[in-house]
Chain A
């Protein structure tokens, strides 16, 4: 069947890796994001690799008025519609501590913006009776840590939202995959030293496609993060509050 993927945050490094693989498999792509010149370059790349369609559309997670045109562009296409969410922002916690006004933006980028978008898309997926939603959360969303608890809070909220969305859409044959990456070498982590168990955007994209293929619900990438987060989640709060991991 024909497949069209809406890519929210198509200028993300991880999104690029996934789009390249989808394009080589002949899928159609709607590239949603803020930096139109970058989206245009990725659209050319996708077409050269064999994408059936590759169209940039302006999208800003903080501007809900930009959402409907993205959805409309995908609805123009026959066949199955899928959506992969890569938007997110992670300013240093210290900056947010110094300027609490930054908090709303972080939540909008990583949680409420994409959640509202998916809320608008959901009825259309239900109507078509098939499709996949891939939501990129983070291991940071599994526990509130001193180093980035606002970002973590947004990602945790998004993961909870996706869990509910899965419960709803599963009844109509639409699958929801939550992806929780550990550190990935991308624009977001540029120059950060000493990240534990790092991986690449290409490896994450491969894991996502494998997870979609197998109908997985929640996927940690690299896989080592699953047992690590199992342990971290199990630490009692009265101990965890004194730790700085």
Chain B
């Protein structure tokens, strides 16, 4: 692409790196669809990387092109972040219908991963609210909707950017009848209570934090967070902070994580509590600390995230037990209920439960993650490609039964493989 600079870059987990010419086009017509695109590289692994080849950084494509405040329909360039939308829209009565845990995710990245939020059980996945896209395929601009080309649509939603560079996204927003999030937190004592409370919750947003260091009878203990949009005065949010340097390797060692988790658990009173939080504080709690991925040091880190069908909750408990016994987990461990909503052949969600846990990048953690992947396959579940840096093609294809349909549509959209990324090559996704 024109105007490219040679840089070395990585995903959020900083384990894989890529070097190559990266263009950051300011003019939309400079995007020619001859190289894979990336957004803010908030995917953990190698999905947004193209080592040795070119890439197109979409973050300068950051304009909202049309907004209809009556119908709540918005069309924007693909580099607009969900954090921007969550910041500017509530005052006009709207909210993005689905928000992942980071506001730095761009619209293009949200489509290419068909992301989910804390409301997935009720609202479905991101792309289920997208009504139109513009793709650039090898110099050709191509508007797509679910009606005009259902197969291309399904190959694009969650499709890792392999059907073309997404330049514009049209989104049906969700009505936002308030100014703050009203959040209720409750301690949950163990795994059985955690699952029972997730099942019983009828809150719009619901997520469980798990103390992945707790084992034995306390296995699965944590905090259940339920939230609704409400009216009120948003509390001021402290200014963002930045992690300036790579932390030493012991910063997230087992004793420190255990101590931190215990504090975090006991922070919520035994009787629970209800508080009011600003939208960004609720949806993107970690964004307040910029570059927090440096806490894992130079070697980087992994996130394992899987989803299993509802009847396999027991398999998930077994996985959590292995994680707790390993002493490798970090404070970031999340359990969510998922609904069936998904929009694409390679979309991650399925009805059931999803567990996400961060691990420092060490041999023991990589071995544990491989084992967890096996358990996921055995349970009929799948792992999330936005988080993956380690899996093998065979495992992933076994988890995604629609892969052949994705492949045939992608082969037509990008016959020369111009949009292949490091992840696509590692998982051999462009072949059966």
Contact = CB atoms under 8 A, between A and B. Distances in A.
B6 A191 contact: no
Interface stretch (A41-49, A111-119, A128-136, A228-236): A41-49
A45 B2 contact: no
Given A187-B26, A191-B5, A24 B63 contact: no
Interface in B47-86: 60, 62-67, 74
A191 B87 contact: no
Contacts of A190: 2-3, 23-26
B263 interface: no
Given A13-B26, A24-B88, A185-B24, A48 B2 contact: no
Interface of B: 2-6, 23-27, 60, 62-67, 74, 87-88, 91-92
A47 B24 CA distance: 25
Contacts of A41: 63, 65
Given A185-B24, A186-B26, A191 B4 contact: yes
A144 interface: no
Given A13-B60, A44-B64, 6 more contacts: A41-B63, A44-B63, A187-B27, A190-B2, A191-B5, A191-B23
Given A49-B88, A50-B88, A193 B5 contact: yes
B74 A48 contact: yes
Given A24-B87, A191-B3, A193-B6, A45 B64 contact: yes
Nearest to B68: A48
Contacts of B3: 190-191
Contacts of A45: 63-65
13 contacts: A13-B26, A16-B63, A24-B88, A41-B63, A41-B65, A45-B64, A47-B67, A48-B74, A48-B88, A49-B88, A186-B26, A190-B26, A191-B5
Listed residue (B2, B4, B60, B91) with the most chain A CB atoms within 10 angstroms of its CB: B60
Contacts of B64: 44-45, 48-49
B8 to A, nearest CB: 14
Contacts of A24: 87-88
A38 B74 CA distance: 18
A53 to B, nearest CB: 15
A16 B62 CA distance: 9
Contacts of A44: 63-67
A165 to B, nearest CB: 30
B65 A191 contact: no
A143 B26 CA distance: 29
A64 to B, nearest CB: 27
A185 B26 CA distance: 10
A190 B60 CA distance: 12
Contacts, number: 48
Nearest to B67: A48
Contacts of B6: 193
Nearest to A191: B3
A58 B87 CA distance: 31
Contacts of B25: 190
A13 B24 CA distance: 12
Contacts of A13: 26, 60
A45 B75 CA distance: 10
Contacts of A185: 24
Contacts of A42: 63
Nearest to A35: B27
A217 to B, nearest CB: 26
Interface string A22-47: 00100000000000001001101101
A127 B106 CA distance: 45
Contacts of B92: 50
Contacts of A49: 64, 88
A185 B87 CA distance: 25
Contacts of A47: 67
Nearest to B28: A41
A89 to B, nearest CB: 15
Which 8 A-B residue pairings sit nearest by Cβ, starting from the closest?
A191-B3, A190-B3, A48-B67, A48-B64, A45-B63, A187-B26, A45-B64, A49-B88
A183 to B, nearest CB: 12
Contacts of B87: 24
B132 to A, nearest CB: 16
A13 B87 CA distance: 22
Listed residue (A24, A38, A44, A190) with the most chain B CB atoms within 10 angstroms of its CB: A190
A58 B23 CA distance: 30
Interface string A138-181: 00000000000000000000000000000000000000000000
Nearest to B88: A49
A85 B56 CA distance: 30
A79 to B, nearest CB: 21
B176 to A, nearest CB: 15
Nearest to A202: B62
A215 to B, nearest CB: 22
Contacts of B2: 190-191
A185 B3 CA distance: 11
Contacts of A187: 26-27
B226 to A, nearest CB: 30
Nearest to A188: B26
